[in-house]
Structure 1
């Protein structure tokens, strides 16, 4: 998400597990054994080294204020992962939604000469220059989620796949409607903030996936990523459509309000897909008695992984599952679909809205 909108959260325990999914097997870059034949594939780096104590590093961290469950979990995950390492000093600055205050906070980290900086900007464009100053000062920046427009302003970017969220939701809905033999379905979409590129990417992915089944969105309306706006928008759409076949809500935080409106209206003729992967959404799915059947992930485990990547970069190490000696320049996390069949696997990673 490359915008200054507070986003969703994650349980502390999920920080450790989720981060491990990406970089748990990272190792030091000791020379691998030479292949016995010129035709052999390159040998992987030796395993088991990177989680052992190494060069001491200080990781600076800055993120927006925790005005949503998702963004609250970003900070929790980052801190929890940093505490796993005896060689890491974690130096967070006060979270804020004020652009100028965040710029000042990052400047203070530059002045402290931290070894590496993990930065989730309120706005990637407006914090681009201060991130560039960090890079010019020799401090690698791990750009988390909301991307800086200038690639010279960050060493590595890690974030979610907004387009992929829409694709995952569209495939779930399209496949289920086809299986049920529904023709000309009424498909409703509740967005976040329509003017944001992240929202537009989600909607485009959704439309593209639906198109492959011969379907399209009947009606869509934007909310504001809050419970209150979720309730209001869902109520309006329910009143406007006496029959709905499927509904995709972009965000599980505002989904609390969407579900409240649905229950208040007594509607259950359709099924619903959520977005982000909150714990309350997973519990609804697990119950088997809700219209909410699935949610597609945009996981704040990315903060845990960002800390792990920052540590490796500061220690001049790479990732053991890759042949290359250095951490990649960008990593896009997949959007996964959570249903009743696999919800128990994901529930420990859910964040509270």
Structure 2
């Protein structure tokens, strides 16, 4: 995700279940050095082997915003669960989550001074924390930049996060498909966005618009909220009052989605389908029950923090990813925004988070 000034939120598990996503990454990565395979006297790169076996001890420092709502809380919970899963060769040193930029900088500096081997940082404000990320890199401590990207790649060794544009594309593509199934030629499609000044919101809306345009549709009534229950309810109420008919609605964020659904219930509206965003357990449960307007949600999964810890371990042990032929950890990893529906919701239950 892109930088999030003034917001303790993104822009992709609960405890033990969350650990699985990151474990998959580490499990496919070996204590053995990569070997070249020969074929007609030509060297051919091979996969890096099984790095799930314990290696040298690695101390991983972790810093994230305050766990004051569902998605961020799940980010922190997943990171801790993954580190515990890897405790045979990982020492985990988390800081207390904070939405105070100066305090987060000070906490990261303490980890740097404590000479951790690797740092995993989800910055409250990517721009503001760029300098401390670069300070760690200059001190020889690799940084895994989680989700909200720093201003320069010099401040991190590896970035892992979600794809906001693809999130919008997949939401729009799902809605377009459903409209065509219903033979609705000119659907009224609403959108409850996040904070419009944020690049992540702009990317999501652009992807949504592009996908609908490809299908010959367009975005109709649109409001922006603030990723909170209260703002979701207020802004959705405004949208519903202005639009006496809807065929579909995309809400960018399942945390604010609680308020969105409350507004829909208060207005006694049910003539449309709704798609959520991020993948909360609450929304997945409703999708599975198929008892409300919510029919799908597009993932932006906090399981990415589990994978970030797995990547940090491999960086600290100078290993690569097992199924890749590259000797080094990739410079960036972008998670995929899968569409969760009634048909596949059971497959994604392990990545659902409590709003």
Question: Under a length normalisation based on structure 2, what TM-score does the superposition of the two structures give?
Answer: 0.95
Shift of 1:57: 1.1
Residues of 2 paired with 1:84 and 1:180: CA distance?
Answer: 46
Residues 29 and 154 (structure 1 numbering): CA distance in 2 closer, same or farther, change over 3 Å? Answer: farther
8 Å CA contact 1:14, 1:301 repeated in 2: no
Equivalent position of 1:105 in the other structure: 107
3-state SS, counterpart of residue 177 of structure 2: helix
Structure 1: runs of 5+ lacking an equivalent: none
1:208 to 207, 210, 213: 210
Q: Is the 8 A contact 1:10 1:70 kept in 2?
A: no
Corresponding residue of 2:304: 302
> What residue number does 1:62 align with?
63
Report if aligned partners of 1:35, 1:43 keep a CA contact under 8 Å in 2.
no
Distance change in 2, residues 1:32/1:40 (3 Å): closer
Aligned equivalents of 1:209, 1:58: Cα separation in 2:
43
Q: Is the 8 A contact 1:29 1:317 kept in 2?
A: no
Three-state SS of the structure 2 residue aligned to 1:211 is helix
Distance 2:32 2:341 in 1: 39
Structural mapping, 1:151-190, within 5 Å: 151-190=153-192
- Structure 2's unaligned 5+ residue stretches are none
CA distance in 2, matches of 1:148, 1:167: 24
Whether the 8 Å contact between 1:143 and 1:156 is mirrored in structure 2 is yes
How far apart are the structure 2 equivalents of 1:179 and 1:22? 38
In the TM superposition, 1:95-244 aligns within 5 A as 95-244=97-246
The one of 37, 41, 48 equivalent to 2:40 is: 37
Task: Confirm or deny: 8 A CA contact 1:191 1:250 kept in the other structure.
Answer: yes
Shift of 1:265: 1.5
Counterpart CA distance in 2 for 1:339 and 1:37 is 49
* Secondary structure in 1 matching 2:347: helix
Other-structure match for 2:90? 88
Q: What CA distance in whole angstroms lies between the structure 1 residues aligned with 2:32 and 2:336? A: 27
Conserved 8 A contact 1:28-1:318: no
Between 17-26 and 321-330, the greater mean CA deviation after superposition: 17-26
CA RMSD of the aligned region, Å? 1.5
Provide the residue aligned with 1:53 in structure 2.
54
The partner residue of 1:270 within 269, 272, 281 is 272
Q: 1:269-304: per-residue Cα shift (whole Å, max 9, x none)?
A: 100000000000000100111100000000000100
8 A Cα contact 1:7 1:69, kept in partner? no
CA distance in structure 1 between the aligned counterparts of 2:347 and 2:90, rounded to whole angstroms = 30
How far is the alpha carbon of 1:330 from its aligned partner?
0.5
TM-score calculated relative to the size of structure 1:
0.96
Question: Does the 8 A contact of 2:158 with 2:330 survive in 1?
Answer: yes
Q: Distance in 1 between matches of 2:8 and 2:245?
A: 33
SS in 2 for 1:281: helix
How far off is 1:331 after superposition? 0.5
Q: CA deviation at 1:329?
A: 0.4
1:259 aligned to which of 258, 261, 274: 261
Q: CA deviation at 1:40?
A: 8.7
Structure 1 equivalent of residue 317 of structure 2: 315
| Aligned match of 2:252 | 250
Distance 1:3 1:90 in 2: 25
Structure 1 pair 40–54 and aligned structure 2 pair: CA distance change class (3 A): closer
Q: Secondary structure at the match of 2:215?
A: coil
Taking the aligned partners of 2:187 and 2:256, their CA distance within structure 1 comes to: 24
State the number of aligned residues.
Answer: 351
Kindly tell me: are residues 290 and 24 of structure 1, through their superposed partners in 2, closer, same or farther at Cα, counting changes over 3 Å? farther
The alpha carbon displacement at 1:59 in A equals: 0.4
Aligned partner of 2:8 in structure 1 is: 6
